């Protein structure tokens, strides 16, 4: 299945997906970044994947930016759109356009800790567990139906950076696995629910 990956930064999840692409029936058609200096672009180039920079600061509105992104995505006619650390909020129209085929990874156990700075907020809240969620993207920010989560324990001496490192290890294992469910046709969004092998998750 052809896929387009959207990034904003380091692209370590992108790297995990590139490394597994052959095993998960994914052909990464292109990588789109809203930052020209995102290290993920180097990772994509190293893997021979076409890259596009669409700098959101060059657009007067979210609508026009989203339109430019969707025009680029649609050139590749992908079966899946993968948000991998893409740090822009989409318009409802964009979310609707790719509804059912756009996935996002979020570094918290959703519905807890939507939004930014999740690792520090987990520590501040005194949580004893943390993790990562992968969900279908709907019009609700970080709120679409959850597909899968991995959990880690929060240790007494953890800080935001140690938590981020351990959560990322889980992210890199979980995202390729979930993408594979999708490329195999096992994972769908049906009536607002994530469904795997015909069973609601």
Cβ closest to ligand GRF, residue 26 vs residue 84: 84
Kindly give the pairing relationship between strand 2-7 and strand 27-33: parallel
Residue among 35, 52, 106, 119 flagged as catalytic: 106
Whole-number minimum distance, CB 150 to ligand GRF, in Å? 11
End-to-end Cα separation, the chain, in angstroms = 23
Cβ closest to ligand GRF, residue 77 vs residue 164: 164
Cβ closest to ligand GRF, residue 107 vs residue 176: 107
Instruction: Please give the structure tokens belonging to residue 104.
Output: 């996002």
Whole-number minimum distance, CB 197 to ligand GRF, in Å? 25
Residue (of 77, 131, 85, 124) closest to 104 by Cα position: 85
Please report, as ranges, the residues that interact with ligand GRF according to CB under 6 A: 7, 9-14, 40, 84-85, 105-107, 168, 171
Whole-number minimum distance, CB 121 to ligand GRF, in Å? 13
Reduced to 3 states (helix: H, G, I; strand: E, B; else coil), residue 121 is helix
Please indicate whether residue 172 is annotated as part of the active site: no
- Taking the C-alpha atoms of 137, 142, 143 and 147 in order, what is their torsion angle to the nearest 10 degrees? 60
- As a whole number of angstroms, the distance between CA 116 and CA 153 comes to 20
- As a whole number of angstroms, the distance between CA 3 and CA 198 comes to 23
Residue (of 3, 9, 62) closest to 34 by Cα position: 9
Cβ closest to ligand GRF, residue 26 vs residue 105: 105
Residue (of 46, 25, 20) closest to 173 by Cα position: 20
Give the residue numbers marked as catalytic. 106
């Amino acid at each position: 299945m052809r896929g387009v990956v959207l990034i904003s930064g380091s692209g370590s999840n992108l790297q995990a997906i590139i490394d597994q692409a052959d095993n998960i029936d994914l052909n990464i058609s292109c990588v789109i970044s809203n930052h020209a200096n995102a290290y993920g672009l180097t990772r994509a180039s190293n893997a021979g994947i076409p890259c596009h920079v669409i700098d959101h600061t060059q657009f007067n509105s979210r609508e026009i930016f989203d339109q430019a992104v969707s025009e680029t995505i649609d050139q590749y006619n992908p079966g899946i759109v993968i948000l991998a650390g893409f740090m822009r909020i989409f318009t409802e129209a964009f979310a609707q356009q790719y509804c059912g085929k756009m996935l996002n990874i979020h570094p918290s156990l959703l519905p807890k800790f939507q939004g930014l700075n999740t690792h520090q907020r987990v520590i501040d809240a005194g949580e004893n567990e943390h993790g990562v969620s992968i969900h279908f993207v709907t019009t609700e920010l970080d709120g679409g139906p959850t597909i899968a989560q991995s959990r880690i324990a929060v240790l007494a001496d953890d800080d935001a950076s140690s938590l981020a490192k351990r959560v990322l290890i889980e992210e890199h294992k979980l995202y390729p696995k979930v993408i594979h469910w999708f490329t195999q046709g096992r994972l769908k969004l049906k009536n607002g629910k994530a469904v795997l092998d015909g069973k609601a998750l």
